[in-house]
């Protein structure tokens, strides 16, 4: 049997007594969130760095084993770009939203609902969990319609972004059935319309809406930033809905953070107890956020 050197095993320098201390400190949080639903948006570096992928899978399995109900919603922007470039197609964006024509939509479906989703399912299963992959079509979960995107400077202009959808309804019954049966749902952000057409939906918005519908205890969005930063680049660890409205107005929150925060804000206002935007580049960020007092990122409260 090979033994890992201390460099390979981050816990090698921790004594058994220290390990017991760490577990004892986690106990109040395990008790607090036992039986509760946690919706976790998985994306960014956490999703492309092999060591962080492993950490994430272990975190999710551990949360399930101690009696919580994690649900994973994943993105896949870089993987979609890579697949499109292999086909000689370049992704185009309007106001941060991917323009999704019919051919791009096919690529989105097989990358998100196939390759990316099955990678995550495989990682969680290899770490000892029982993950099941779903798209918004499964169980009629995510109904959508074509997104009407108005120009941010001139609202009389409407941009056509193709098969990009906005959510009209979520039926969470398939997710609830799996949860109750000890499975971990892994959801691709693809919805379907009245004529059975497919829609590419922003994963942050899917996670936020799902958290609202399921009355989740927590919504966690993993990002490639430390959280929400002020104009000087300082991390804002605790924000209310009203403070966020102010950050939108003065332009502090812009670009790719807009849909993320807009969805998070909706969830906070709609009854999700705590919404966290956390740095997915931190090893075991998910576990640290849930089982310790230390804040890793920005928490948004409804008031």
Output the known binding site for substrate: 76-77, 98, 200
- Of the candidates 298, 233, 224, the residue with the CA atom closest to the CA atom of residue 268: 298
Strand partners, 69: 37
CA atoms of 241 and 30, how far apart (whole Å): 27
Q: Which residues contact 123 (CB under 8 A, 6 or more apart)?
A: 53, 54, 56, 57
CA atoms of 181 and 156, how far apart (whole Å): 49
For 229, phi then psi, to 5°, come to: -105, 150
User: How distant is the alpha carbon of residue 113 from its chain centre?
Assistant: 15
What separation in angstroms does the CA of 83 have from each of 3, 112, 201, 299?
Answer: 39, 11, 18, 34
Q: Which ranges of 132-202 does DSSP label H, i.e. alpha helix?
A: 173-180
Angle at Cα 110 formed by Cα 276 and Cα 73, nearest 5°? Answer: 15
Instruction: Identify how many contiguous H helices and E strands the chain contains and give both numbers.
Output: 11, 16
- 179 contacts 118 by C-beta, under 8 angstroms: no
DSSP letter for each residue of 127-141: TT--EEEEETTGGG-
CA atoms of 206 and 281, how far apart (whole Å): 22
- Of the candidates 151, 275, 128, the residue with the CA atom closest to the CA atom of residue 209: 275
């Amino acid at each position: 049997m090979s033994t890992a050197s201390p460099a390979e095993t981050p816990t090698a320098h921790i004594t058994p007594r220290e390990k017991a201390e760490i577990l004892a400190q986690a106990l109040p949080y395990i008790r607090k969130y036992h039986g509760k639903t946690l919706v976790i948006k998985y994306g960014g570096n956490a999703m492309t760095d092999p060591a962080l992928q492993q950490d994430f899978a272990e975190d999710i399995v551990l949360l399930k084993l101690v009696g919580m109900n994690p649900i994973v919603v994943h993105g896949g922007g870089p993987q979609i770009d890579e697949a499109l470039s292999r086909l000689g197609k370049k992704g185009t964006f309007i106001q941060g939203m991917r323009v999704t024509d019919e051919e791009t939509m096919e690529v989105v479906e097989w990358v998100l609902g196939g390759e990316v989703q099955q990678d995550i399912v495989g990682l969680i299963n290899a770490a000892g969990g029982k993950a099941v992959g779903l798209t918004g079509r499964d169980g009629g979960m995510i109904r959508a319609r074509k997104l009407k995107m108005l120009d941010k400077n001139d609202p009389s202009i409407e941009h056509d972004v193709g098969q990009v959808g906005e959510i009209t309804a979520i039926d969470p019954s398939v997710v609830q059935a799996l949860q109750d049966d000890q499975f971990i749902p892994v959801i691709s952000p693809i919805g379907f319309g009245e004529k059975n057409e497919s829609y590419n939906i922003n994963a942050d918005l899917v996670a936020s809406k799902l958290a609202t519908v399921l009355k989740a205890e927590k919504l966690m969005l993993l990002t490639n930033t430390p959280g929400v930063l002020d104009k000087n680049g300082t991390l804002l660890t605790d924000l209310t809905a009203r403070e966020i409205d102010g950050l939108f107005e003065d332009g502090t929150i812009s670009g790719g953070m807009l849909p993320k925060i807009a969805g998070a804000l909706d969830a906070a206002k709609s009854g999700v107890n705590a919404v966290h935007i956390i740095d997915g580049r931190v090893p075991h960020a998910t576990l640290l956020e849930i089982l310790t007092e230390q804040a890793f990122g920005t928490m948004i409260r409804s008031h």
